[in-house]
Amino acid sequence: MAEAQRLDGRECAAALDQKTAARAAALTEKGVQPHLAVVIVGDDPASHVYVRSKVKACERLGLISTHVERPATTTQEELEAIVDGLNADATVHGILVQSPLPAHLDEGAITDRIDPAKDVDGFHPVNLGRLVQGRTDGLLPCTPSGVMEMLRWAKVPLQGQRAVVLGRSRIVGMPMALLLAARGADATVTVVHSRTEDVADRCREADVIVAAVGRPDMVQADWVKPGATVVDVGINRVDDDSRERGWRLAGDVHPDVSGVAAWLSPVPGGVGPMTIAMLMANTVRAAEGLQ
Ligand code: NDP
């Protein structure tokens, strides 16, 4: 069987970035340059890499970025005061507090504190609540909305199709299922999680699989219906002595799925670039005041 077509996140993100940059330029011309504030607490190396790539994306697309860095010893009150200051700053349109926060900090309370109109991560209860109500025109969580953008870009049919979402997290799985089932997308969605029996059988029924479990190579080739579309959200570090650095990056989908699926998103270069592109688009949207 032929190899699956590549759901190329880099290409799709580049197409979206062009539109985002044009919208940012139009706003800047009117005197409102979109501005993203990224707050990072502590020294988690992966988080610093993510934050750097977000700041770089702002530079590339003509957005202002403010990078607030605080030590791991920062208290809840101090972090809340930073969020309050950014909420009150009319020149800031988007606020992102990089996850994970050090264990002594209450991440949920910080999410709730961000002004929903500046919540470019889309995790505030107001924004998730709008999504539950079927209102998909607001600030949507970046990873699942990036997956939807990829599916539109590849013209993957969704209406009346069976979709299986593996994972039910607040940031990926649940909003992903809601977006696929929303009016306009119109897929019939099954959510699979760690208590689901017969995960493989559920996957075999699917026309579209979105895997967001954090288990390297979990989705096997014989779980996938020939011709299905498979989106791999997983980013997992796997020990690998054959690599100089001692590890490799693996998705949640086994590479052999490429021999069965019609479309497959690569890791890296799939959903990851889309997440950042949607963050930029959300920031411009917040600056446009479309909430
Ligand atoms: P979470 O750990 O929050 O959620 C994982 C979900 O998978 C849970 O709902 C869990 O079920 C379910 N699950 C775990 N094991 C199994 C199993 N054996 N069978 C069925 N379901 C299972 O992870 P996230 O949603 O935050 O992230 C998922 C993956 O996506 C990770 O690899 C993460 O790194 C990656 N990611 C990638 C992003 C990107 O930009 N590309 C952005 C965000 C995440 P239960 O609820 O029952 O525990």
pLDDT digits (tens, 9 = 90+) for 77-86: 999 999 999 9
Residue spans of beta strands (DSSP E) within the chain: 5-6, 35-41, 64-70, 94-97, 162-166, 188-192, 208-211, 229-232, 236-239, 247-250, 263-264
Task: Round to whole Å and give the CA distance between 255 and 208.
Answer: 17
pLDDT of residue 242: 94
Task: Round to whole Å and give the CA distance between 280 and 50.
Answer: 13
Q: What is the pLDDT of residues 137-146, one digit of tens each?
A: 999 999 999 9
Confidence class for position 1, pLDDT limits 50, 70, 90: low
CA distances from residue 238 to 19, 169, 230, 255, 256 in whole angstroms, order as listed: 36, 22, 21, 14, 17
Task: Show Cβ contacts of residue 255 under 8 Å, excluding neighbours closer than 6 positions.
Answer: 217
Whose alpha carbon is nearest atom 17 of ligand 1? Answer: 194
Task: Round to whole Å and give the CA distance between 182 and 37.
Answer: 30
pLDDT of residue 90: 96
**Phi/psi zone of residue 15: left (φ > 0), alpha (ψ -120 to 50 degrees), beta?**
alpha
Ligand 1 site-directed mutation target among 50, 223, 235, most atoms within 8 Å of CB: 235
CA distances from residue 110 to 47, 80, 100, 123, 286 in whole angstroms, order as listed: 17, 7, 12, 11, 19
Q: What percentage of residues in the chain have a pLDDT greater than 70? A: 99
CA dihedral 119, 271, 288, 116 (to 10 degrees): -10
Task: Round to whole Å and give the CA distance between 243 and 231.
Answer: 26
Ligand 1 site-directed mutation target among 51, 172, 232, 237, most atoms within 8 Å of CB: 172
Three-state DSSP at 149 gives helix
Q: Is the per-residue pLDDT at 268 higher than 50? A: yes
Of the candidates 208, 212, 211, which has an alpha carbon nearest to the alpha carbon of residue 188? Answer: 208
CA distances from residue 14 to 153, 273, 283 in whole angstroms, order as listed: 11, 9, 16
Confidence class for position 2, pLDDT limits 50, 70, 90: confident
Ligand 1 atom at minimal distance to the Cα of residue 236: 32
**141-272 has the same fold as 31-128:** yes
CA distances from residue 18 to 30, 36, 58, 117, 193 in whole angstroms, order as listed: 19, 18, 13, 24, 36
Ligand 1 atom at minimal distance to the Cα of residue 252: 32
The mean predicted confidence, pLDDT, of the chain is 97
Ligand 1 centroid–CA 213 distance in Å is 3
Q: What is the pLDDT of residues 114-139, one digit of tens each?
A: 999 999 999 999 999 999 999 999 99
> Is 54 labeled as catalytic in the residue annotation?
yes
> Which DSSP category does 219 fall into?
B
Q: Is 273 in the pocket of ligand 1 (CB under 6 A)?
A: no
Amino acid at 14: A
Q: Is 234 in the pocket of ligand 1 (CB under 6 A)?
A: yes
Ligand 1 centroid–CA 167 distance in Å is 5
Domain 141-272, CATH: 3.40.50.720
What fold is seen in the domain 31-128? Rossmann fold (3.40.50)
> Is 217 labeled as catalytic in the residue annotation?
no
Segments making up each domain of the chain, as ranges: 31-128, 141-272
> Which DSSP category does 207 fall into?
S
pLDDT of residue 290: 55
> Is 137 labeled as catalytic in the residue annotation?
no
Q: Is the per-residue pLDDT at 9 higher than 60? A: yes
